[in-house]
Structure 1
């Protein structure tokens, strides 16, 4: 009986979210097209080399990056996302139909070759960061079938090629790949536009990992302490996600420090410019309202003056109320 309960619970979990399985028809073994292999070779990489996937929500873009012979990662191809659920911002709880954001490590065990949605891989949500913040959810996938319930949905052709690229990378000896999910490109200009968002602090934390990749062109390792992401951690053991970050946990190179300072200055400048623009727009709106009120007051004054002229300078007479006629007695008629 216990075994049946466990099996039923497992099946229910698989069917939640974007889960579900179907019979094996071998689609996960479809080889990469020859032109895809040639395109990889032209950029100095092979199907078996390491890879990374980056998702940019507001552009509906899923980017596949491959490590080249020079050691740096280059973007191989960008695929259009058919649909993703919710708004810009992280996922909080099961059933909120929100697609996650953050850093995730994808291993072979997260691949779903028999997905009801053609092919799929699990994002790994909730990760260490999500769990320490009490976030819940299951079976948050990148999959085919062009429909979404908190997942990232691709066309079947796109997920077929992406799945094959992942499979070949695993078979090339890479134990995992990193999935980075952002609401938008984490530039100072984009971030400044969302300075009033409840997610601003979370997004500035994501930007630390984004900037590292943009500078080094290699995915930074990540961990969690003090309930925030930390990158390129100089620690031999996993960190306590709710505990204090150990001294010197975050490695910062001179180049990264310079980039972070420049990004901080650019962000401050963008925010100041947006605040100034907002103040100018508010002042212009107030001037417009004041002008309308003044025009209305002038119109009322002119109307009162003209009315006085037509009445000889005196106030217009009050209209008298009609007086109801009192019936008079009729003369008496003598009939004698």
Structure 2
């Protein structure tokens, strides 16, 4: 009987620990801020990102339309300087294209690198990198969706949920300025 109690207690402890790891690591509270959709036909004339707050705001005529929680690269602090540093650039850019067949649901290209970024990287002997996007979650997310929503995981891009990128995609035109703050 004593052996049974020890085995039972061990199994319960392992199951509890596994549940705790899953709950606290993979399922932290969902960061989605504003679940009220934009009204149909809404247009944004600028985008502002606050990296330190993990927020993306759509604006129209200097008034905020909606705020989204974002995920960034694995090294979110500081300005992107070179290819592979997993940082998100800081400064004024624009939406320079879109990919409806993205590996991340939909993606909006950010005009990084600027001429200034290229010069700075070149002075240091680096490639500045590129392919910086606002995009959704990986097409193969599966049961890891909450992990992606609640953690920094990109290679320097700005990620939102698939529902949110669909909304942003519809509200933002190519050429829209995006200001990315620290």
**Same fold, TM exceeding 0.5?**
yes
Superposition RMSD on alpha carbons, in Å? Answer: 2.1
Name the one with the larger helix percent.
Answer: 1
Q: Where does 1:244-283 land on structure 2 (aligned, <5 Å)?
A: none
CA contact (8 A) 2:98 2:108 kept: yes
Matched, 1:97 2:86: yes
Looking at structure 2, the residues matched to 120 and 152 of structure 1 have their Cα atoms a distance apart, in angstroms, of 10
Q: TM-score, normalised by structure 2?
A: 0.64
Matched, 1:118 2:124: no
Q: What is the CA distance between 1:130 and its match in structure 2?
A: 0.7
Residues 1:35 and 1:119: Cα distance change in structure 2 (over 3 Å): closer
Name the one with the larger strand percent.
Answer: 2
Q: What is the CA distance between 1:83 and its match in structure 2?
A: 3.6
CA contact (8 A) 1:85 1:99 kept: no
Matching residue of 1:136: 128
CA contact (8 A) 1:52 1:65 kept: yes
Give the secondary-structure state (helix, strand or coil) at the position aligned to 1:36.
coil
Matched, 1:160 2:169: no
Matching residue of 1:47: 42
Residues 1:124 and 1:85: Cα distance change in structure 2 (over 3 Å): farther
Give the secondary-structure state (helix, strand or coil) at the position aligned to 2:68.
strand
Larger radius of gyration: 1
Matching residue of 1:176: 175
Give the secondary-structure state (helix, strand or coil) at the position aligned to 2:76.
coil
Segments of 5+ residues of structure 2 without an aligned counterpart are 1-35, 122-126, 138-147
Higher relative contact order, structure no. (Cα contacts within 8 Å, ≥ 6 residues apart): 2
Matched, 1:84 2:73: yes
Looking at structure 1, the residues matched to 89 and 74 of structure 2 have their Cα atoms a distance apart, in angstroms, of 9
Segments of 5+ residues of structure 1 without an aligned counterpart are 1-33, 39-45, 68-72, 184-336
Residues 1:129 and 1:116: Cα distance change in structure 2 (over 3 Å): same
Q: What is the CA distance between 1:129 and its match in structure 2?
A: 2.0
Q: What is the CA distance between 1:35 and its match in structure 2?
A: 5.6
Q: TM-score, normalised by structure 1?
A: 0.36
Match of 2:60 among 51, 63, 66: 66
Looking at structure 2, the residues matched to 35 and 162 of structure 1 have their Cα atoms a distance apart, in angstroms, of 10
Looking at structure 2, the residues matched to 62 and 154 of structure 1 have their Cα atoms a distance apart, in angstroms, of 9
Q: What is the CA distance between 1:36 and its match in structure 2?
A: 2.4
